[in-house]
Homo-oligomer: A and B are copies of this chain.
Amino acid sequence: MDEFSFIQSIQPKTYKRTNLIKGIGDDAAVFRPMYHDVVTSVDTFVEGIHFSKETMSAYDVGYRVLATNLSDMAAMGSTPSFYLVSIVIPKHWSEEELQALYKGMEDLARLYNMDLIGGDTVSGDQLVVSVTIMGEVTSGKARYRSHALPGDVVFVTGTLGDSAAGLHVLLKKEKGEDYDYVINRHRRPSPRVKFAKSLEAIKRLSLNDVSDGISSDVGEIAESSHVDLHIDYEALPIHSSLKTSFDKFLLRKWVLSGGEDYELIGTVPPSDWGRVEEAARKTGTRVTRIGRVEQAKGSTPTVFLHEAGTKQILKKEGFNHLKGD
């Protein structure tokens, strides 16, 4: 592979954003934020740890790594604008595959009017893709996990467990009509950027994304906000193809702790629930009320799972039955 021509080929020929002052080609990129606050995070994918060629094409790898970053921007209520890509390239990746990987990112970036403004391309033993993303948000409108208050409604977008089901099907090499849906959800998550942006009129809102599985992600809201969260298992949104195609035990595990669905989970005062529904309608996003926030009873903020009249403590790593309940 000719490194120089490869780098040339992945560089954007034009830029989409008018607030970009200098793109790729100097010591660094320069942009002028259009809003007050800049939001930034980084996500790293390693071959053999976070993905494998067995279950994903190079295009999907690119698409998915940027999607996870976009999901972080959504969970902050911010508008993504720029990204930088650092890549470690091993010998067993061809130039065609690498170009497909960048195409996966580029196609998703186009949907959000984002520009690739920097990066680093180095060689190594194992493919590593690290994406730094930058977003912008109106002053004081960034959304945190720490803003939940007792009395709030808990909601989640989309459906849960799809990505884990997709990975399961891919690893078991199972074939079936309904599997296309879960496979696509695993490979091409839909970050809820527009939905989160549509919540801007809401004064107080806590927000997180479903990356590790809701047991963990809801727990982060409880912990950061020092409140208890009560979740109704029966209310959790599950796609019809999951209900019909899979074992109940697996399904339950995927829904509660599968993760990587890149949906949003949040809490709002009940008086703002109508606004959440309106944002969902406007952006074609499914949204479901799944529980409520209560004052923390003990010294440790706790998530409770209600199901068929029983109550369990939902721990980050899964769930433990609560004795005497």
Footprint of B on A, CB under 8 Å? Answer: 21-22, 25-33, 36-44, 46, 48-50, 71-73, 75-76, 78, 82, 84-86, 88, 117-120, 122-126, 128, 130, 132-135, 137, 139, 142, 144-146, 207-209, 224
Contacts and interface: CB of A to CB of B under 8 A. Distances in A.
Contact of A128 (B29, B49, B124, B145): B124
Given A21-B142, A27-B76, A38-B134, 4 more contacts: A26-B75, A27-B72, A40-B84, A125-B125
A135 to B, nearest CB: 7
B118 A40 contact: yes
A123 B42 contact: no
Contact of A30 (B37, B85, B118): B37
B124 A76 contact: no
B144 A208 contact: no
Given A46-B123, A126-B126, A41 B22 contact: no
A30 to B, nearest CB: 5
Residue with the greatest number of chain B CB neighbours at <10 A, chosen from A27, A72, A120: A27
19 contacts: A22-B142, A22-B144, A26-B76, A26-B145, A26-B224, A27-B76, A27-B207, A28-B39, A30-B142, A32-B37, A38-B38, A40-B118, A42-B86, A42-B120, A44-B130, A46-B123, A49-B124, A86-B86, A125-B125
Contacts of A40: 28-29, 31, 82, 84, 117-118, 132, 134
A135 B28 contact: yes
A166 to B, nearest CB: 21
Contacts of A43: 86, 120
A84 B132 contact: yes
A37 B238 CA distance: 45
A189 to B, nearest CB: 15
Given A86-B44, A124-B128, A30 B39 contact: yes
Contacts of A27: 41, 71-73, 75-76, 145, 207-209
Given A76-B30, A144-B26, A125 B122 contact: no
A173 B162 CA distance: 56
A88 B132 contact: no
